[in-house]
Amino acid sequence: MFQRRTITNDLTFFQKIRSFDYILLGCILLIGIISCYSMYSTDGGELQYHTKSHILRFLIFFTLMIVLSFFSIRFWHATGYLFYLIVLGFLIWASFYGITASGSQRWINLYFINLQPSELMKIAIIVCFAKYYHRTQISDVNSFKNLVLPIAILILPIVLVVSQPDLGTSILIALSGLVVLWLAGLNIKYFVYSSLVFIISMPFVIAFLKPYQKLRILTFFNPDKDPLGAGYQIIQSKIAIGSGGLTGKGFLKGTQSYLDFLPEKHTDFIFTLFSEEHGFTGSVLLLVLYAIMIFRILRIGSFTRSYFAKLYCYSFGSAIFIYIAVNMSMVLGLLPIVGSPLPIMSYGGSSMLATMIGFSIVMSSNIYSKQLIS
């Protein structure tokens, strides 16, 4: 990157500011602005509740991210397990005292915010695993003890989230965890075996799914079967995106969303709205912004010195990619509909908070890239 003194422990404030990755920061800010103005469009071109609260959250959490970036990477390493345990505690709390909305008990009331701990778990699991494998020797990674504990760490939150029930988030948590395990060097045969087991157990898993979840999977394979029922979301989303064309229908002119044909347009289907109004050009532009963002994250990972930070950045970069890919494939009709927000773009405080915390650790890795962790 740029020349810096080797003593990284006591960087001056000015030096810290200078060593930010401004391209990454710019990407986040740009996507944030795009998300605010898409939210403005979902409100029908008026400064309504969703827009106001989204802008407020983005400003708060973006500031929070910058503040947290100044925390040393050592801090994150030190609090890795604690972070996981706190979020796990929240999850357990949610399963007992959580707020139920639309048939799912996902939120806890923290008085100033209704928090969805499962969203935070997506980050916490990465931090926790990064810390866990930081110390583990490569020869021990595949030992029995080092196999059982990480699986327990992964399974516990997944079970809690599935029982909320929230299939989408639990899948994303699982994928986040698996990415870290993969990067940490877990033997390929485990991945092959577990995928085999997964495929074989599919029919049994499906048998245990809630009727609405089953319906979603069936609908995915044939959305036209019941166009006004289960297939409605996929069909309407495809119509919206497809009708956008090369340049889109224009800002605030997306008829599909403006006339309420789009479901969940603030959250999971925000990309559909954006794509309808700004067309292929706009969508690719947004995708390129996301690509640059992920590339910068991975780049930071490759320059940072500590194994913890490297593993974290690689994993987080990959996880963010997975979230984006799952969300977009879903709205494009390539995957069944599971609740999964588009990072930064989608409305939702917890998702935004988790994403921003995630970014702040990446930023910290960048600022303290020369710092080693014993």
Partner 1 sequence: MISGGDSSFRKLNTMNRRMFIISAAKLVVFTGIVTRLFSLQINENKKYLTLSDKNRLREWKLPPERGEFLDFFGKTIAGNLKVYQLHVVPEQVEDFKYLMVRLKDILELDEKEFSKIIKKKNKQKPWETLVVSENLTWDQFSKVNFYLHELGGAKPVLSVARSYPHKEKFTHVLGYVSQASESDLANSEIIKKNHVPGLRVGKIGLEKAFENDLIGSNGIQRYEVNAYGKRINQIDFEEGKKGKNLRLTVDTEVQKLANDLLLDKAGSISVMDIYTGDIIAMHSSPSFDPNLFLYGISHKDWQEIRENPLKPLVNKTVAGLYSPGSTIKPLVALSALENDVISPKFTVRCTGKMEMYGQTYHCWKKKGHGYMNLRNAIKQSCDTYFYEAARKLGVDRLNKTGLKFGLGEKVFGNTFIDEKKGLVPSTKWKKDNLGLGWVLGETLITGIGQGYIQTTPLQLCLMTAQLANGGYKIYPRIKVEDNQDTAEQIKNKMAFAGIEKLQEKKDDPKAPIIYRRFLNNKEQKYKPLYRNPENIKFVLDAMWGSTNEVMGTSFGSRIEDKKYQFAGKTGTAQVKKISERHRELELKAKDVPYEERDHALYIAFGPYKNPRYALSIIIEHGGTGSKVAAPMAKKLFKLIIDRHEEREKILKQNLSIT
Applying CB under 8 A, the residues found at the interface with partner 1 are: 137-139, 179, 182-185, 236, 238-246, 255-256, 259-261, 275, 279-280, 283-284, 287, 291, 294, 298, 301-302, 305-307, 310-311, 314, 318, 321, 325, 328-329, 332, 334, 372, 374
Query: Which letter does DSSP use for residue 143 in this model?
Result: S
CB of 186 to partner 1, least distance (A): 9
Residue by residue, what is the 3-state secondary structure of 247-300? CCCCCCCCHHHHCCCCCCCCCCCHHHHHHHHHHHHHHHHHHHHHHHHHHHHHHH
Residues 6+ positions from 264 with CB-CB distance below 8 Å? 233
CA distance 62 to 84: 22
Residue 148 neighbours by CB distance under 10 Å: 10
Taking a C-beta distance cutoff of 8 angstroms, is the pair 227, 255 a contact? Answer: no
Minimum CB distance to partner 1 smaller for 90 or for 133: 133
CB of 183 to partner 1, least distance (A): 5
Minimum CB distance to partner 1 smaller for 16 or for 305: 305
Q: How, if at all, do strands 104-109 and 99-101 pair? A: antiparallel
Q: What angle do CA 309, 313, 316 make, to 5 degrees?
A: 135
CB of 17 to partner 1, least distance (A): 28
Minimum CB distance to partner 1 smaller for 141 or for 151: 141
CB of 62 to partner 1, least distance (A): 25
* Token couple for 58: 């983005």
CB of 244 to partner 1, least distance (A): 5
CB of 220 to partner 1, least distance (A): 14
Minimum CB distance to partner 1 smaller for 43 or for 166: 43
Minimum CB distance to partner 1 smaller for 26 or for 263: 263
Minimum CB distance to partner 1 smaller for 45 or for 89: 45
